[in-house]
Structure 1
Amino acid sequence: MTYWMRRARAVLPWLLVGAISSGTVLLTRLPAAWIAPQFARATQGHVNLVDPAGSLWHGSATLMLAAGQDATGATLLPGRIEWQTAFWPLFLGRVSMQMRQTEAMPDPVQVEATLKSATVTAGAIAVPASLLAGLGAPFNTLDFDGNVRLAWSPWRTFGTDAFGRLTVSLTDMSSRVSLVKPLGSYEVVVQAQGASSTLDLTTQKGPLLLNGHGTFSRASMSFEGTASATPEQSDNLAGLLNLLGRPTGPGTVALTFVH
């Protein structure tokens, strides 16, 4: 063994220690802003972290949700979303985070992510009804108000495919274009099945009856349903029904959306 080979062999362990130490310091100092674009990219812009503070390990941000395909109609939630990230899983190529929203989601959820997949444990969050405006017409015209709650089963993504069940509860909804208040309570169930998903709308109670079924994917969306009114409110809701869809019979309109 030559002199230089012996020197290199002696120095190599210290170089490795220095490299690991430097990498560890860099990891511990990663700012919270580093994680914001990762969430936006993974959710196609539906979940965004605004005004991040702290670090990757212990930080917070304002949660902005967008129901549509872009930031149009995005809604900022009051309070802050807070997270804590485990350190050691990163050495296995995995991110492990616990997240909670101080006002809308007090019960924390666990986020596990790798370069190819991600999992979010079951949870629920209350959101403003204004979020519905981001879905476009007719929601942005009707300007709904009421209590909106999102609840989901364990949600998994593999690349661009998603698997899970999302339930949207719309309670005591009203609209600025109707004097009938409340219009009713409704439930929307989204079943993500990989590259495509299904959507089912049902009425829980109220004078405005909404029902339908749809399918959607990254390339297209279609929904077929009906809207009608109970007999005692048919006259008062006639104007609203005309805004919702095309008449198909006495007091009934078709809810058809194709994109």
Structure 2
Amino acid sequence: MKLRTRLAKAAPQRAAPARSLRAGAAAARRWAWAGGLLGGLVALVAYAPAAWLANAVSSASGQRVLLAEADGTIWSGSAMLILTGGADSRDATTLPGRLQWKLGLAGSALQVSLQQERSLNGTVTLQVRPGLGRSEVRLLPQPGWIGQWPSALLSGLGTPWNTLRLGGAVRLSSPQGLVLEQAAGRWEMKGSADIEVLDASSPLTTLEQLGSYRLHLSGNDAGQVMLDLSTTEGALQLKGDGMIAPKGVRFRGEASASEGNEAALNNLLNIIGRREGERSVISIG
């Protein structure tokens, strides 16, 4: 009787280590699964295909900016850059050369380094700071011009550019850099930039060249982007000013022919805006 009592007391003591071993094995399996899942997620992020970035850019731009033939990963890849007039547009322009990018961290920001032979002046750097309710895109200052592309790329934006079929080059510069901030669904610009159209031409006139023009953009404290259009040189004289505000674009300007070029530019002036005598009035918004 005493022997059976001692055996009964010893049985739970022998069972306890067995349960501990089974619990330890189960915990090990859970940690192994968690480790495998974490490793899979790290690998997925590290080797995420460039096509994911292409889809994000297309969606964010309303299909106005496309990264075609994307190759590599979201961290280091390349693609052909295409500009279009949007989802329903049939106009599209492919920029020469492949756009190459490298994506990494710079403090709390994502830093994107861009290169494109024949289009970008060396390496162009953007810093993106996403946040809850507020995001920021910063173009770092760069001496000289930033990018230069054939004016024909504007045709991809639709009317009126696809009618004008401009020749020449479009150049972007921003020596002090600029910042785009998004909050409550609205974008604001800080800093300034110049968009120049150099040696513009059009098959709508018999003149070899129309001229060269500069559109200056500058942000103000009211969240508006002020616009100032001027002519650097040329037979077609353009001038005007306006703004990009939360409610849309407003611009007032005029076009006219320099002395001796009135007949050659008459048809083009009829297309650019509303004729008032010798000048053509441009009104947007």
Coarse TM-score class (shorter-chain normalised): 0.7 to 0.9
Deviations, residues 44-96 of structure 1 (Å, cap 9, x unaligned):
44432111011122211111124x4555433111111111223xx49x98533
Q: How does 1:1-259 map to 2 (within 5 A)?
A: 3=20, 17-66=35-84, 68-70=85-87, 71-86=89-104, 89=105, 95-116=110-131, 117=135, 118-122=137-141, 124-152=146-174, 153-159=177-183, 160=185, 161-164=187-190, 165-191=192-218, 196-217=224-245, 220-249=248-277, 251-258=278-285
For residues 22 and 39 of structure 1, the distance between their equivalents in structure 2, rounded to whole angstroms, comes to 25
For residues 58 and 192 of structure 1, the distance between their equivalents in structure 2, rounded to whole angstroms, comes to 32
Structure 2 CA distance for partners of 1:38 and 1:122, relative to 1, 3 Å: farther
2:7 aligned partner = none
For residues 48 and 38 of structure 1, the distance between their equivalents in structure 2, rounded to whole angstroms, comes to 10
In the superposition, the TM-score normalised over structure 1's length comes to 0.81
SS of equivalent residue, structure 1 residue 200: strand
How many residues get paired? 253
Amino acid at match of 2:242: G
Amino acid at match of 1:230: S
Amino acid at match of 1:256: S
| Long gaps (5+) in structure 2 | 1-18
SS of equivalent residue, structure 1 residue 182: coil
Amino acid at match of 2:282: L
SS of equivalent residue, structure 2 residue 55: helix
SS of equivalent residue, structure 1 residue 130: helix
In the superposition, the TM-score normalised over structure 2's length comes to 0.75
Structure 2 CA distance for partners of 1:174 and 1:225, relative to 1, 3 Å: same
Q: Kindly indicate whether the alpha-carbon contact (under 8 Å) linking 1:61 and 1:82 is maintained by their aligned counterparts in 2.
A: yes
Q: Percent of counterpart pairs with the same letter?
A: 29
Q: Kindly indicate whether the alpha-carbon contact (under 8 Å) linking 1:80 and 1:103 is maintained by their aligned counterparts in 2.
A: no
Cα distance, 1:181 vs structure 2: 2.0
For residues 169 and 28 of structure 2, the distance between their equivalents in structure 1, rounded to whole angstroms, comes to 67
Cα distance, 1:233 vs structure 2: 1.8
Structure 2 CA distance for partners of 1:65 and 1:138, relative to 1, 3 Å: closer
Amino acid at match of 1:78: P
Q: Kindly indicate whether the alpha-carbon contact (under 8 Å) linking 1:184 and 1:207 is maintained by their aligned counterparts in 2.
A: yes
For residues 67 and 249 of structure 2, the distance between their equivalents in structure 1, rounded to whole angstroms, comes to 27
SS of equivalent residue, structure 2 residue 48: coil
2:5 aligned partner = none
SS of equivalent residue, structure 1 residue 77: strand
For residues 138 and 132 of structure 1, the distance between their equivalents in structure 2, rounded to whole angstroms, comes to 9
Q: Kindly indicate whether the alpha-carbon contact (under 8 Å) linking 2:47 and 2:73 is maintained by their aligned counterparts in 1.
A: yes
Structure with larger Rg = 2
Q: Which moved more, 1:181-190 or 1:5-14?
A: 5-14
Q: Kindly indicate whether the alpha-carbon contact (under 8 Å) linking 1:143 and 1:175 is maintained by their aligned counterparts in 2.
A: yes
